[in-house]
Structure 1
Amino acid sequence: MSEVVELVRLSDGQAGVVVRVLRAGPDWFTGEVVVATPFGRGQFDLQLSARDIDDWGAALDRLAEHRSTRWLANSANPEISTKFSSRRPVPLITVQD
């Protein structure tokens, strides 16, 4: 894999989260999570397995159904979670390292 693959970009116009795969090895993928807000920007490195990528697909399916989800909750990577609320038109995205 020679090109960067963007797995998702979520934004409300002011703050946003981007998840990218940067490189692929035989058994792993290297990626990043970039969080940008009006107050600052943060970047987290990811080491992903093929199973992590499959789990991401399932998380996106739940997100498309407007269901709360967590990804990478039981790994050394930062956890990404989404939570829907009737008070907001977009989900609350949390990245916790």
Structure 2
Amino acid sequence: MSDIAPRELISLADDEGNSVTVTVLGRSARRTAGLDAEIVVRTPFVSGRIGLALSASRLEEWAAALDRLDAGEDVAWLERDRGPSVFIQLTGERDCPEVVVEDESGSMVTVRVPLVPADDWIADHRDRLHQVTTHWVLMLSA
């Protein structure tokens, strides 16, 4: 296993300068079996970031979301929990995929980011999830 910790769980971007990433920052200081992470939105118009706590169950939910996306379904990730939610719509309002990040419980802001990811983005994200899970689950259980 590499000594370099995988950081980007989600990295969706296009040639127009639009991107949404979920970056693992490291072990949580508050939760023994958790990770601190952040959602970062960047567009030519608006940019922002919000903190996020990741657990093994949230990573499992992301794996299930990737399966649904691969089957052609839109997904909501983290929707039931307090804190930010991420929605991926395969055909959004502008007839292209969109990522919607909501922070209903905090800032009450919603950002809708249209973007066209690479053709193999679901396989790429399964690989990212595997790397993050393998590295961080071993680190958290140590």
TM-score of Structure 1 vs Structure 2, range by shorter chain: 0.7 to 0.9
Amino acid in the other structure paired with 1:93: V
1:37 aligns with 2:43: yes
TM-score (norm 2): 0.60
Ranges in structure 2 where 5+ consecutive residues have no aligned partner: 104-142
CA separation in 1, counterparts of 2:51 and 2:6?
14
Gaps in structure 1 of 5+ consecutive residues: none
Distance between the aligned counterparts of 2:70 and 2:84, measured in 1?
Answer: 22
Letter in 2 for 1:7: L
Q: Secondary structure at the match of 1:13?
A: coil
State TM-score, norm by structure 1: 0.84
**Equivalent residues of 1:4, 1:22 under 8 A apart:** no
Structure 1 residue 56, shift from structure 2 partner: 1.0
Identify which of structures 1 and 2 has the higher relative contact order when contacts are C-alpha pairs closer than 8 Å and 6+ apart.
2
More strand by share: 1
Structure 2 counterpart of 1:82: 88
Q: % of aligned pairs identical? A: 34
Q: CA deviation at 1:48?
A: 1.6
CA distance 1:12–1:65, shift in 2 (3 Å):
farther
- Aligned counterpart, 2:55: 49
Following superposition, the deviation at residue 6 of structure 1 comes to: 0.7
Matching residue of 1:3: 5
Kindly report the root-mean-square deviation, in angstroms, between the aligned alpha carbons of the 2 structures: 2.1
Are positions 1:20 and 2:6 aligned together?
no
Number of residue-to-residue matches in the alignment: 96
Distance in 2 (CA, whole Å) between partners of 1:91 and 1:50 is 27
